[in-house]
Chains A and B, each alone.
Chain A
Amino acid sequence: MIEIKGLTKRFGKKPVVEDVSVTIEPGTITSFIGPNGAGKSTLLSMVSRLLDADTGEVLLDKGNVKKWKSSEFAKRVSILKQANFINVRLTVRELVAFGRYPYSKGRLSTEDEKFVDQALGYMNLIEMQDKLLDELSGGQKQRAFIAMVIAQDTDYVLLDEPLNNLDMKHSVQIMKILRKLVDDLGKTVVIVLHDINFASVYSDRIVALKNGRLVKNGPTNEIINSDALREIYDMEIPIQEQNGCRICVYFNSHA
């Protein structure tokens, strides 16, 4: 279990995340939503130790994440930031194999190879495993990076806006795979999302931030309603039900 307790981060004098406490339920998809500059990515970075918090703490299995050994932490929690700018010429397979680094330190055992094969299969990348990353489209590249995180085989998978620059088809594909990771493999996924409808349709829980503060935290159906959304986005957002999914129709809303 990951517990976030009273986390605060300032850049200069400006607080970006202020006194946020959230518990991430294991075996769920939790989406971080909120307007631009709400502190979603900063919060995710602190949970994954990429950033140090000013005050407060993050606990993984009751232990402060700062006290975890790097190599052990990397076997429990993985984080994927927006990766499209990475310009390294590796093949897809080489990249995915680096996901095994915390276990193998670069020398892949047959078991590591098995994990790599599985991850490639999971993301439908077997056929293009020998292609270089810079020959891939944005969606394929994103899938390759997610495959790497799958090969890392952590209980917690943290993703910072993985749908950025992806078209509808690939976005749906990736969200379905994340759903499978949770439902079939028992992983816990925490994801920063911009598109509120993806959050509504695919996540179990939603954490809403605004100006660095936590405004809502609960099961998806408690957050996706016009009252709660007004508080988060300062917008009037009607909800329509479609095959059991709640869709937020915000396109022609008056603020």
Chain B
Amino acid sequence: MRLWMLMIAAVVLSFISLFIGAIDIRISDLFDWESDKTQIFLISRVPRLMAIILAGAGMSIAGLIMQSLSRNKFVSPTTAGTLDAAKLGILISMLFFTNVTYTQQVIFSFAFALAGTFVFMQILDRIKFKDVIFVPLIGIMYGNILSSITTFFAYEGDLLQNISSWLMGSFTLIIAGRYELLYISIPAIILAYIYANKFTVAGMGEDFAKNLGMSYKVVLNIGLILVAIISTTVVLTVGVIPFLGLIVPNIVSLYLGDNLRKTIPHTAVLGVVFLLICDIIGRVIIHPYEIPVNVTVAVIGSAIFLIMLFRGRAYAKK
């Protein structure tokens, strides 16, 4: 697959995404700057598209970085406790401060996402049995433990409904003024590309990296910080989108290999394309109502994931 093909697909799908929804907007409507339709377009449709693009590219790259650093094809923010830790952070911020500000939520959730992922990497360092399937299973269990702690305290503090809104990834509530946090992931994505070679080298192990004169720990920590930044911004604006960081990098790895310099652009654009397709399906299938994107992603993603598991075990193991 070529990058320009993916780009064209992304542009076409973006265009479709802008012009479907409960209210019928045509291009000709946009010439009237004052009309309601133009306002809806600018306040709802454009922000939604931007959110999809940033979340799609961001989560896919976060997954790619984690797979490289953990040297396991099935590790991603959803299978390593990152997102669960981020949610726990939001909850703690709400319990601590009676009138919690957005900034406080962001900081807490970032700190927890970072610490949570770091703990997972430490666990990974310690276990002897590093089977491709076993490692993500541990990650999922670990995430579930974090998640049940969250649920318990949320129940105690009467915040269950509040918390469950972050469980569900959806672009329905994205309007201007409620998604701008996602722009923070742009510098994180650019940094990921600048560090691509270092992540590739670190992905071949500590000894290998040290031989080439690279400080492994620094690269590892930078990677984890980037993952935490991206995951936090996505969880706080869109919610949890499962599978994205898992399947997109793996599909790219299958046809392009593991040199991150080469794969990061593909991973970003394919992530956008995949998320756009899922969102568009969710919006047309029971039009004029919507299915939240995490449902369509989960259905399509789990199918692809199963195929990958059965066909790809040999590939991931090699």
Chain A residues packing against B (C-beta within 8 Å): 45, 48-50, 70-75, 78-81, 83, 86-91, 94, 98-99, 101-102, 105-106, 132, 134, 152
Contact = CB atoms under 8 A, between A and B. Distances in A.
Nearest to B212: A101
A141 B241 CA distance: 38
Interface majority SS on B: helix, strand, loop or mixed?
helix
A48 B318 contact: no
Interface string B251-287: 0010001110100000000000000000000000000
A79 B206 CA distance: 12
Contacts of B316: 87
B49 to A, nearest CB: 33
Interface centre among B71, B203, B212, B215 (most CB of A within 10 A): B212
Contact of B211 (A78, A91, A94): A78
Given A50-B211, A106-B261, 18 more contacts: A45-B207, A70-B214, A70-B215, A73-B213, A74-B211, A79-B211, A83-B208, A88-B71, A88-B204, A89-B253, A101-B212, A102-B212, A102-B213, A105-B197, A106-B196, A106-B198, A132-B257, A152-B212
Interface of B: 71, 196-198, 200-201, 203-208, 210-215, 253, 257-259, 261, 315-318
Contacts of A45: 207
Contact of B200 (A72, A73, A90, A152): A90
Nearest to A68: B213
A161 B46 CA distance: 59
A113 to B, nearest CB: 15
B254 to A, nearest CB: 9
B201 A98 contact: yes
B212 A74 contact: yes
Closest 8 CB pairs of A and B: A74-B213, A106-B197, A134-B318, A89-B257, A71-B213, A89-B258, A70-B213, A101-B212
Interface centre among B211, B212, B258, B259 (most CB of A within 10 A): B211
Contacts of B198: 106
B197 A88 contact: no
Interface majority SS on A: helix, strand, loop or mixed?
mixed
Contacts of A99: 212
A102 B201 CA distance: 12
Contacts of A73: 213
B207 A88 contact: no
A88 B203 contact: yes
Given A88-B200, A101-B197, A134-B318, A50 B71 contact: no
B252 to A, nearest CB: 11
A49 B210 contact: yes
A87 B205 CA distance: 10
Contacts of B257: 89-91, 94, 132
A80 B200 CA distance: 17
